Amino acid sequence: MKILVCISKTPDTTSKIAFKNGNTQFDEAGVQWILNPYDEWYALVKALELKEKDASTVLHLITIGTADCDPIIRKALALGGDEAIRVNTDSNDSYSIASQIAAIAKEGAYDLILTGKETIDYNGASVPGFIAEILDMPYVSLATKFELNGTIATIDREIEGGEEVNEVSLPVVVGCQKGMAEQRIPNMRGIMAARTKPLKVVEPIAVDALTSVVNFELPAAKAGVKLVAADNVAELVRLLHEEAKAI
């Protein structure tokens, strides 16, 4: 059994979002980088659980990015995994990113490809779908639970107003979200072990991007809250009905 977990570095949720060069580039100054929480808490930890159940499982991590991703990769390896692969290219076109991952996944003949449901920076929610289509594999999105019995995966996924249980034969691509696993904190042994785990740097394949970011904008500031006295709830209802037209 071979598992590939796709990880990405993203700005910490509390980071100030600003842009530079005429709003064409994200301003990384002072930004604290973290592992994308969906990749870390759900995809990676689920893979670790599978490896703990079956020690023969081979678990590889992959990220697409330049050398500044390495600290995040080491952090992920501190949680677990046998080795990491970094494809040495930078892009914000999800199709290009997914094409790089798919090329590595194809070569490595992985049985299971796990990703977070989306990253918290570009929120595209598209990388796992791209990978699945390029590799012609089934894809289960918004997965909340995953169990493996031989080569049959039983996966719960979110649907409108509930969940459904999917049964699918490996190989499969799964986009993970809350429910899949619980967040873990790396221990000292893991952190030490991560330093010596292999981190392979691979050069990218040639891919034509399908989209390009022209520029970024920040939302207009809120006008400010209109406070209503706690003993005048009727006024709030009037405002919501007449002014905001929300009820």
Q: Of residues 6-25, which lie at the interface with another protein (CB under 8 A)? A: 11, 13-14, 17, 19
Q: Which residues of 134-165 are buried (b: 16+ CB within 10 A; e: fewer)?
A: bbebebbbbbbebebeeeebebbbbeeeeeee
* Euclidean distance between CA atoms 39 and 46, whole angstroms: 10
Q: Is 117 in the site for another protein (CB under 8 A)?
A: yes
Q: Is 187 in the site for another protein (CB under 8 A)?
A: no
With contacts defined by CB under 8 A, name the span among 59-67, 73-81, 185-193, 232-240 that binds another protein: 232-240
With contacts defined by CB under 8 A, name the span among 70-78, 158-166, 187-195, 196-204 that binds another protein: 158-166
Helices 188-196 and 70-79: angle between axes, nearest 10 degrees: 130
Q: Is 235 helix (H, G, I), strand (E, B) or coil?
A: helix
As measured in angstroms, the least distance from the Cβ of 199 to another protein is: 27
As measured in angstroms, the least distance from the Cβ of 169 to another protein is: 7
Calculate the CA dihedral of residues 12, 216, 19, 88 and round it to 10 degrees: 70
User: How many residues does the structure list for the chain?
Assistant: 247
For another protein, the binding residues in 118-147 under the rule CB under 8 A are: 118, 120-130, 132-134, 137-142, 144
Of 189 and 222, nearer to another protein (C-beta) is 222
Of 205 and 213, nearer to another protein (C-beta) is 213
Q: Is 66 in the site for another protein (CB under 8 A)?
A: no
For another protein, the binding residues in 209-228 under the rule CB under 8 A are: 210-219, 222-223, 225-228
Q: Residue 175's closest CA among 143, 127, 153?
A: 143
